[in-house]
Structure 1
Amino acid sequence: MRPSLTRQLKQIDDDIFTVSNIFDGAECLELVARAESIGFEAASVRTPSGPKMMTHIRNNDRVVFNDVQLADEMWKRIRSFLPVLDGQNACGVDSQLRIYRYYPGQRFNRHKDGAVSNELGQTSKLSYLIYLNDDCDGGSTTFCHYCDVSGTREKIEFIVMPATGTALLFRHERWHEGTPIAAGVKYVLRSDVFYATG
């Protein structure tokens, strides 16, 4: 049994936050090795008519796998930090997991994430990422929106840099991008948090 790490919540905006030390360094390395052994493929983009290859939007690679045990562990480690949203409580993590890999020059341009539902009728509201390494240059997750301030349109930006084992959670509706890697390789574990009434 690994020693438990102290986890710290950092609120970035109303519906964007990070929690440190969800996984330790050894666990992150194990997940990277597992993904590499499965084998990465070019990542598609979800569209209303189904998945499509759209390299002008994203050109990174990914592994998709189902792991109930890992999703349960991700849930146990994050649940105490999760907010009530729209009068609903968080109730689990999607077991359909993805690990993304970004080489230099690869990125995922500005986009919003879509909600997913499970067989229990629960629908996701939060994207749940865990950075598996931070020995790369670039590769931030950047949130950007515009608002009118005293009649002037202003850009508001929040930048989250990879930190090994740190989770980043945010509402699906938030515009964000995975900025290009300049050097090294970036690995990210991705899932969603389900919500339900009661």
Structure 2
Amino acid sequence: MGDQKVEFPVIKPKHKLQINFLKGNDLITVPNFLTPFESEAFVKAAESLGFVHQGSLGPAKGEAYRDNDRVSVNDPQLAGIIWESGLNKLFRDIKIRGKAAVGLNPNIRFYRYKVGQRFGRHIDESVDLGDGKHTHYTLLIYLSGSSQSKSKSDVKSLGNTDPLVGGETVFYGSRSKVVAEVAPAAGMALVHIHGDKCMLHEARNVTKGVKYVFRSDVVFA
């Protein structure tokens, strides 16, 4: 799937973004990072690539429970456009072990969760990309969910008219205490630290509609 060509939407630079710090610099949300049109266009592009089901061996085998659909592309240009559209400003003053954020992992993944699908509690590992580059943050951009724009009610999945219900991303601290519960909202970006400081988190069960997510990682060097 990684070599397929697809036409992605033109992403406009974003100004005056609202930044919500849910746990300092470790967990941040950015409402309306993508417009409703951009979110819907990404859904169509991902569907055109063709999703493949992804499961896991489950907790009994030492793996988090996972049931969703996935497709990925290696697209440095798209990664650069998303980064320059506003994320670069967000990470301007964030340093990890003296390293600065330089962009996004070009390995772009799209996730789809239908009714009954979820991703159990897990952590995201840091990835060594070579040349002194490592990922230290996960980037999720919700492409469906309750709209944050009054001009459009919701981004519907192709062939599905039901609005999304469920699919919250939940983060846990010590003793399984809930740190934050983030409901999917079309166009909202969520970034959280990963690697050895990653919080345990899960994607809850979707009970109605379809949840679509754009996924990449923030690279430091």
Deviation at 1:9, TM superposition (A): 0.4
Contact 1:101 1:186 in 2 (8 A): yes
Gaps of 5+ in 2: 1-10, 146-162
Seen in structure 2, the aligned counterparts of structure 1 residues 4 and 122 have a Cα distance that, compared at 3 Å, is: closer
Paired residue for 2:90, among 81, 95, 100? 81
In structure 2, how many angstroms separate the alpha carbons of the residues matched to 1:65 and 1:44? 19
Aligned-residue offset at 1:67: 1.3
Asked if the contact 1:94/1:192 (under 8 Å) is kept, the reply is yes
For 1:141, the equivalent position in structure 2 comes to: 169
- Residue 21 of structure 2 is matched in structure 1 by 11
The equivalent position to 1:181 in structure 2, one of 187, 206, 215, is 206
Measured in 1, the distance between the counterparts of 2:14 and 2:133 equals 30
Q: What is the alpha-carbon root mean square deviation over aligned residues?
A: 2.3
**1:38, distance to aligned residue in structure 2 (A):** 0.8
Counterpart secondary structure, 1:13: coil
Aligned residue for 2:101?
A: 90
Question: Quick one: structure 1 residues 112 and 24, their matched pair in 2 at CA, closer, same or farther if it must change by over 3 Å?
Answer: same
- Report which of the two has the higher share of strand: 1
Q: Does structure 2 conserve the Cα–Cα contact (< 8 Å) formed by 1:22 and 1:78?
A: no
What TM-score do the two structures reach when normalised by structure 1?
A: 0.85
Q: Does 1:69 align with 2:74?
A: no
Residue type at the aligned position of 1:168? L
Change (3 A) 1:107 1:55: farther
Pairing of 1:1-198 with structure 2 (within 5 A): 4=14, 6-14=16-24, 15-44=26-55, 57-76=65-84, 77-82=86-91, 83-134=94-145, 135-146=163-174, 155-172=177-194, 173-196=198-221
Give the partner amino acid of 1:141.
T
Task: Work out whether residues 73 and 107 of structure 2, in 8 Å CA contact, stay in contact via their aligned partners in 1.
Answer: yes
In structure 1, what is the equivalent of residue 6 of structure 2? Answer: none
C-alpha separation between the residues in 2 aligned to 1:121 and 1:58?
31
For structure 1, the 5+ residue unaligned runs are 47-52, 148-153
TM-score under structure 2 length normalisation: 0.77
Do 1:6 and 1:21's aligned partners in 2 also have CA atoms closer than 8 Å?
no
Query: Percent identity among equivalent residues?
Result: 37
Letter in 2 for 1:122: K
1:133, distance to aligned residue in structure 2 (A): 1.1
Decide whether the 8 Å contact of 2:64 with 2:121 is kept in 1. Answer: no
Cα distance between partner residues in 2 of 1:72 and 1:54: 35
Distance 1:123 1:104 in 2: 34
CA distances 1:128-150 after superposition (whole Å, capped 9, x unpaired): 01001113001110001225xxx
| Closer, same or farther: CA 65–12 of 1 in aligned 2, 3 Å | same
Aligned residues: 184
What is the CA distance between 1:44 and its match in structure 2?
Answer: 4.9
